[in-house]
Amino acid sequence: MILKRLLTVIPTLIGVVIVTFLLTRVLPGDPAVYFAGPAATPQSIAEIRKSLGLDRSLPDQFARYVNDLAHGNFGNSLSTGRPVATEISSRLPASAELTLSGLLLAIVIAVPLGIFAAVKQGSFIDHLCRIIATAGVSLPVFFTGLLLVYIFYFKLGWSPAPIGRLDAFATAPPDITGFYLIDSLITGNFESFRASLSQLILPAVTLAVFSLAPITRMTRASMLAVLASEFIRTARASGLNGRTVILTYAFRNAMLPVVTTLGMVFSFLLGANVLVEKVFAWPGIGSYAVEALLQSDFAPVQGFVLTMAVLYVALNLLIDMLYGVIDPRVRLEA
């Protein structure tokens, strides 16, 4: 099963490379004009275009791009002058820490809420579940972030200024995993842990609110379908404990749709964190890609899209493997 999934990855990545290359070439704006400056002459712009290889034909540019990718070279950023691979590897842990924190927070809240809403159908918890789901779908992620900043930083003063992963007076922990929370705990730097956690709370809550709705609704719907099954009625008629019936029998059989939804939500968060990173000045790859896009810097945008595609494919492979762990019948069918 894993081998079949890996074979489908190759045409997917090839398609991503082709589409990304073509889209960046049809975007408005000329990198040579941007970096030449407003007072540049046509001759200097032509020289810059030649140095960047933009005077070549599209097939020639694409062949050079694919050749660089085959050697692990994503190109250099025109705005920073650094290799794109270096920039992405240094910024990816920040985006991963933010995205995973938001997803874990959403799971901790949404899954129990969806279970209680299904068990207590029509109760106050069920109505609360619907309100949360509606609010999560209705509120744009950037609006939620700005609203939280306005309330908890500007009005109440409970949250630090949204200026990135650490405030101006804190020092970053030694780079071990790239995750500030984990690195500060490993090194015993509790001051950095407190500072990084305080900066992480609001953006993580913003992403959690965005992802609460689909997880809660799918958990509730899946649990309702399983609770109406005959084997659940048989388990209850046999005198089994209600908690055992719900958690051991019902929830395990309801997990497959929930796991599928988690994979979809994580892919949505990879795109939503671009806006969240801009709102909270988070130094991740999303804000890096937006800045490069505004400057018509092709290489970082292509590297960002390709990195997101690889993460999405790897996530789908992980979900397929989890299917076999949760339900052995999936392995037998494969």
**Residue 272 or 280, more confident:** 280
The pLDDT confidence band at residue 251, using thresholds 50, 70 and 90, is confident
Q: What is the mean pLDDT of residues 324-331?
A: 66
Domain-by-domain residue ranges, the chain? Answer: 91-284+308-333
Q: What is the mean pLDDT of residues 291-312?
A: 82
What is the second-level CATH architecture of the domain 91-284+308-333? Answer: Orthogonal Bundle (1.10)
Question: Is the pLDDT score of 140 beyond 70?
Answer: yes
pLDDT in tens, 208-224: 888 888 888 888 888 88
Helix H, strand E, coil C: the string for the chain is: CHHHHHHHHHHHHHHHHHHHHHHHHHCCCCHHHHHHCCCCCHHHHHHHHHHHCCCCCHHHHHHHHHHHHHCCCCCECCCCCCEHHHHHHHHHHHHHHHHHHHHHHHHHHHHHHHHHHHHCCCCHHHHHHHHHHHHHHHCCHHHHHHHHHHHHHHHCCCCCCCCCCCCCCCCCCCCCCCCHHHHHHHCCCHHHHHHHHHHHHHHHHHHHHHHHHHHHHHHHHHHHHHHCCHHHHHHHHCCCCHHHHHHHHHHHHHHHHHHHHHHHHHHHHHHHHHHHHHHCCCCCHHHHHHHHHHCCCHHHHHHHHHHHHHHHHHHHHHHHHHHHHHCHHHHHHC
Tell me the average pLDDT of the chain. Answer: 82
pTM here?
Answer: 0.82
Question: Is the pLDDT score of 288 beyond 70?
Answer: yes
pLDDT in tens, 26-59: 766 667 776 666 677 777 777 777 777 777 777 8
